[in-house]
Chain A
Amino acid sequence: MLGRSANGIFWLFRYLERAENTVRLIEAGFRMALTRDSGAASEEWRSVLITLGMQHAYAARHGDDVTGAHVFNFVLRDRDNPASVMAMIEAARTNARMVRTGITREVWEAVNESWMKLREIFARPVTETRLRDVLDAVRRQATQVRGAIESTMLRNDIYHFAGIGTFVERADNTARILDVKYYVLLPSLSAVGSSLDNVQWENVLRSVAGERAYRWLNAGQMDPRGIASFLILDQRFPRSLAFCYAQLQANMGFLANEYGFETEAHAIYQSGYGRLSALTIEAIFEQGLHQFIGEFLACNNRLAQQIQRDYRFVE
């Protein structure tokens, strides 16, 4: 396959994944904001913007006025925001058009249809009343694309580059949430969390669609260390760092096998995955949760860069 196609596939799936995760973050933020006074709600929205790395762009547009409708319209559909969900869907579709010959008709149609639907939805401002429907629509579209991939794509290098894009992005997104919210999960003085703590913890889980799974696994008990462990080390949870890296193992392994050689990216991956598998949550907290996440993000980013070089994504 062409290096440029690998690049297109990789970014197509990064954008799709990022769009979906962004929507989850908005959803959690919205729910949180509903239950708080306006000062705290504003704080919550600010942390959403920071997680997405949009705080400066947002400030340039709206200044200090951090309110829900402004934030979610900015994040979802503002034309001045090059990282808006709509812009990502647009970029995903552009990439899909570019690699049209590498994806099945079903995948292309699912991406194209998402773009058509969302463009219509985002043509007018999103109100609080409409927000839930809008978020649902984005999620449903993402699910449709994923379904088309799983059921129609050949399991060749194209499929695995799609997987690499997806899981590098997902790991990055989950880590970013932890990076911004790590303090919520730090050990507090009281053994039993206050009700405010409980709300905060649940919100972290909700941002990665993990609240039900976590409760189910832990019989409803919220505990910060357990949550951190769940999001970082639990290979059963599809948005945990460990899960993403286990998936990458298959994707990277396929390429090494199929092409008959390993690359520098494989070495970076191995060291990252090795560390994740060897760690316990105790060790992570001992090292410092924040520092661990920082290092993980840097390593994940290095991996992405190296893959793009090793497989000749660009000249």
Chain B
Amino acid sequence: MTTPCYDEMREPDGTVRPAYDGYRQWLEAQPPGLLKRKGVEAEAFFRRTGITFNVYGAADAEERLIPFDPVPRIITASQWRKLSRGIDQRVRALNAFLHDLYHRQEIVRAGRLPERLLQGNAAYLPQMAGFTPPGGVYTHIVGIDLVRTGEDDFMVLEDNARTPSGVSYMLENRETMMAMFPELFTRVRVREVSDYPRRLARSLAACAPAAFAGDKPTVAVLTPGIYNSAYFEHAFLADQMGAELVEGSDLKVEGGRVAMRTTRGWQPVDVIYRRVDDEYLDPLSFNPDSVLGVAGIMDVYRAGGITIANAPGTGISDDKAIYSFMPEIVEFYTGEKPILPNVPTWRCSEPDALAYVLDNLAELVVKEVHGSGGYGMLIGPTSSKKEIATFAAKLRARPDNYIAQPTLSLSTVPIFTKAGLAPRHVDLRPFVLVSPHGIDITPGGLTRVALKKGSLVVNSSQGGGTKDSWVLDD
């Protein structure tokens, strides 16, 4: 790292920042060895409760734990106020953008977004054109990935508008912290996150389809099944919401509704919170080989027989090629300047940008436009000459497929290590619910942390861990 990075707990001279003052006072009063002992307890707790995830491509297909670090990541009330305004604005823009893309495409007509980004983009679903989802909501659940580089410098690294995951870790991390350090929570006032499932259930129920009749919509969580990497979360959310956890094989289309096979017979479902990708949702409309979805669900959807959350086709809005246009998008639909900036981004599809990126690969992070989870990317500063050369060849062959960003000096938060507290890079994914009643942001979110010293990769699939994220109460 060439620039020194911002540590969220300490000033460069070592003084503890105000946000961490209460935590520091508590920590100093604790016996030595406490964090270590509690860390071991936490791991046993996670194993027993089965808070695990599966790593795709891992040879042993074992369930792994996402390492949990017992030092909280703390955000002050005033920082959070600003962040939530920015998130609210961005999520409003995302939904307006989606509605526009699938209707008149005013933004393209106005010349603010190149049409080529939509043409041939697999994330744009022609099946959604001209259709407005129940309640006008496209992204019922959004995760906005934020990174920080200074006291007031938060930037959006990525929008997750498809099926963002990680919220169960946000909830379990808090439960774990409260179980391990109850007295800490009596000393420091932290805003509650535990009612997220209830708010999610309410938010989903508020988007019931036209065909719904009755007093309480039936909500089901659609999972690809127990071998999916996020299965724990699917089960967790269904459990917490009191919703059925269904698989594609439990569902069929009957009499214009989507029904689930229960022990009493087939029962209609009103709202599906699906954790299955668009492509697999309906073998009749999308991938014909899919067994994870429901044949004919798209027809039912378009006829107002079911709500699908998130709506199919929202992936077009978090596409990395679209991402670079987000500042324009926010301004176009809200008429306001974006509160949260983007990370500066070079679109490799543009010749000048490509030339710059190729000349500076060693300093840049290059990502696949459609990739996720930290796969298929190049981190220039930590790559060998050979890796860079190989990647440059890929980049030249398909420049449209990549964007590049500077290697950010991400902020650090201390983690607990054998040698005591040591700073590590973090990001933050707040979770946002959207319903016809408005936008609801859970205070905090999921902090992911790169456990290796100096590493910038926070993805759990690549050895990242998580922390409890606190928003202080005023």
Question: Nearest CB to that of A255 among chain B residues?
Answer: B263
What is the bound-complex CA distance between A116 and B44, given in angstroms? 11
**In angstroms, how far is the closest chain A Cβ from the Cβ of B83?**
33
Cβ of A311 < 8 Å from any Cβ of B?
Answer: yes
Contact A100 to B244, CB < 8 A, known contacts A259-B264, A315-B249: no
Cβ of A97 < 8 Å from any Cβ of B?
Answer: yes
Inter-chain contact B235/A312, CB cutoff 8 Å: no
Residue-wise, chain A 82-117 has the 8 Å CB interface mask toward B (1 for contact) of 000000000000100110110001001100110010
Inter-chain contact B226/A4, CB cutoff 8 Å: no
Contact A4 to B247, CB < 8 A, known contacts A100-B239, A101-B239: yes
Cβ of A157 < 8 Å from any Cβ of B?
Answer: yes
Contact A113 to B48, CB < 8 A, known contacts A100-B245, A101-B235, A101-B238: yes
Inter-chain contact B231/A2, CB cutoff 8 Å: no
Inter-chain contact B49/A97, CB cutoff 8 Å: no
Question: Nearest CB to that of A115 among chain B residues?
Answer: B50
Inter-chain contact A3/B235, CB cutoff 8 Å: no
Considering the complex, which residues of chain B in the window 253-268 have a beta carbon less than 8 Å from any beta carbon of chain A?
Answer: 260-265
Which of B49, B225, B246 meets A2, CB within 8 Å? B246
Residue-wise, chain B 172-199 has the 8 Å CB interface mask toward A (1 for contact) of 0000000000000000000000000000
Question: Nearest CB to that of B236 among chain A residues?
Answer: A100
What is the bound-complex CA distance between A198 and B226, given in angstroms? 50
What is the bound-complex CA distance between A157 and B262, given in angstroms? 11
Inter-chain contact A2/B226, CB cutoff 8 Å: no
Contact A1 to B226, CB < 8 A, known contacts A97-B231, A108-B50: no
Cβ of B250 < 8 Å from any Cβ of A?
Answer: yes
Which of B48, B245, B265 meets A112, CB within 8 Å? B48
What is the bound-complex CA distance between A94 and B264, given in angstroms? 24
Question: Nearest CB to that of A99 among chain B residues?
Answer: B245
Cβ of A6 < 8 Å from any Cβ of B?
Answer: yes
Question: Nearest CB to that of A1 among chain B residues?
Answer: B263
> Chain B interface mostly helix, strand, loop or mixed?
mixed
What residues of A have a CB within 8 angstroms of the CB of B49 in the complex? 105, 108-109, 112
Residue-wise, chain B 98-121 has the 8 Å CB interface mask toward A (1 for contact) of 000000000000000000000000
What residues of A have a CB within 8 angstroms of the CB of B226 in the complex? 94, 97-98
What is the bound-complex CA distance between A311 and B265, given in angstroms? 8
Which of A101, A105, A109, A312 meets B263, CB within 8 Å? A312
Cβ of B82 < 8 Å from any Cβ of A?
Answer: no
What residues of A have a CB within 8 angstroms of the CB of B452 in the complex? none
**In angstroms, how far is the closest chain B Cβ from the Cβ of A135?**
23
What residues of B have a CB within 8 angstroms of the CB of A315 in the complex? 249, 261
What is the bound-complex CA distance between A312 and B260, given in angstroms? 11
Inter-chain contact A3/B250, CB cutoff 8 Å: yes
What is the bound-complex CA distance between A116 and B47, given in angstroms? 9
Which of B50, B245, B263 meets A3, CB within 8 Å? B263
What residues of B have a CB within 8 angstroms of the CB of A5 in the complex? 244
Residue-wise, chain A 247-262 has the 8 Å CB interface mask toward B (1 for contact) of 0000000000001000
What residues of B have a CB within 8 angstroms of the CB of A6 in the complex? 263
Inter-chain contact B263/A311, CB cutoff 8 Å: yes
Inter-chain contact A312/B265, CB cutoff 8 Å: yes
What is the bound-complex CA distance between A161 and B264, given in angstroms? 13
Residue-wise, chain B 212-234 has the 8 Å CB interface mask toward A (1 for contact) of 00000000000001100001000
Residue-wise, chain A 112-124 has the 8 Å CB interface mask toward B (1 for contact) of 1100100000000
Which residue among B47, B244, B246 has the maximum number of chain A CB atoms within 10 Å of its CB?
A: B244
**In angstroms, how far is the closest chain B Cβ from the Cβ of A117?**
10
**In angstroms, how far is the closest chain B Cβ from the Cβ of A98?**
5
Considering the complex, which residues of chain A in the window 1-50 have a beta carbon less than 8 Å from any beta carbon of chain B?
Answer: 1-6
**In angstroms, how far is the closest chain A Cβ from the Cβ of B198?**
16
**In angstroms, how far is the closest chain A Cβ from the Cβ of B172?**
12
What residues of A have a CB within 8 angstroms of the CB of B261 in the complex? 2-4, 312, 315
What residues of B have a CB within 8 angstroms of the CB of A3 in the complex? 250, 261-263
What residues of B have a CB within 8 angstroms of the CB of A1 in the complex? 244, 262-263
Question: Nearest CB to that of A100 among chain B residues?
Answer: B235
**In angstroms, how far is the closest chain A Cβ from the Cβ of B376?**
30
**In angstroms, how far is the closest chain A Cβ from the Cβ of B350?**
48
**In angstroms, how far is the closest chain A Cβ from the Cβ of B168?**
12
Residue-wise, chain B 135-146 has the 8 Å CB interface mask toward A (1 for contact) of 000000000000
Contact A101 to B48, CB < 8 A, known contacts A2-B260, A312-B263: no
Which residue among B246, B247, B260, B264 has the maximum number of chain A CB atoms within 10 Å of its CB?
A: B264
Inter-chain contact A157/B249, CB cutoff 8 Å: no
Considering the complex, which residues of chain B in the window 334-378 have a beta carbon less than 8 Å from any beta carbon of chain A?
Answer: none
**In angstroms, how far is the closest chain B Cβ from the Cβ of A26?**
27
What residues of A have a CB within 8 angstroms of the CB of B238 in the complex? 101
Which residue among A98, A109, A113 has the maximum number of chain B CB atoms within 10 Å of its CB?
A: A98
Question: Nearest CB to that of A98 among chain B residues?
Answer: B226
What is the bound-complex CA distance between A98 and B223, given in angstroms? 10
Residue-wise, chain A 299-315 has the 8 Å CB interface mask toward B (1 for contact) of 00000000000011001
**In angstroms, how far is the closest chain B Cβ from the Cβ of A261?**
9
What is the bound-complex CA distance between A4 and B246, given in angstroms? 9
**In angstroms, how far is the closest chain B Cβ from the Cβ of A100?**
4
What residues of A have a CB within 8 angstroms of the CB of B265 in the complex? 312
Which residue among B50, B226, B239, B243 has the maximum number of chain A CB atoms within 10 Å of its CB?
A: B50
What residues of A have a CB within 8 angstroms of the CB of B243 in the complex? 101
Question: Nearest CB to that of A95 among chain B residues?
Answer: B226
Inter-chain contact A97/B263, CB cutoff 8 Å: no
Inter-chain contact A259/B263, CB cutoff 8 Å: yes
Question: Nearest CB to that of B241 among chain A residues?
Answer: A101
Which of B47, B225, B245, B249 meets A101, CB within 8 Å? B245
What is the bound-complex CA distance between A166 and B47, given in angstroms? 27
Inter-chain contact A2/B244, CB cutoff 8 Å: yes
**In angstroms, how far is the closest chain A Cβ from the Cβ of B322?**
35
What is the bound-complex CA distance between A83 and B244, given in angstroms? 31
What is the bound-complex CA distance between A161 and B263, given in angstroms? 10
Question: Nearest CB to that of A108 among chain B residues?
Answer: B50
What is the bound-complex CA distance between A182 and B263, given in angstroms? 38
**In angstroms, how far is the closest chain B Cβ from the Cβ of A254?**
12
What is the bound-complex CA distance between A6 and B245, given in angstroms? 13
What is the bound-complex CA distance between A113 and B46, given in angstroms? 11
What is the bound-complex CA distance between A200 and B238, given in angstroms? 52
Which residue among A100, A109, A157, A312 has the maximum number of chain B CB atoms within 10 Å of its CB?
A: A100
Considering the complex, which residues of chain B in the window 129-173 have a beta carbon less than 8 Å from any beta carbon of chain A?
Answer: none
**In angstroms, how far is the closest chain B Cβ from the Cβ of A216?**
38
In the A-B complex, the 7 residue pairs with the smallest Cβ-Cβ separation, listed nearest first, are A100-B235, A311-B263, A101-B239, A3-B261, A101-B238, A101-B245, A6-B263
A-B contact pairs, 16 of them (CB 8 A): A2-B262, A2-B263, A3-B261, A4-B261, A94-B226, A97-B50, A97-B226, A98-B225, A100-B236, A100-B245, A101-B238, A101-B244, A101-B245, A108-B50, A116-B48, A259-B264
Residues of A whose CB lies within 8 Å of any CB of B are 1-6, 94, 97-98, 100-101, 105, 108-109, 112-113, 116, 157, 161, 259, 311-312, 315
Task: Known A-B contacts: A2-B262, A3-B250, A100-B239. Give 12 more (CB < 8 A).
Answer: A2-B261, A4-B249, A4-B250, A4-B261, A97-B50, A97-B231, A100-B236, A108-B50, A112-B50, A113-B48, A312-B262, A315-B261
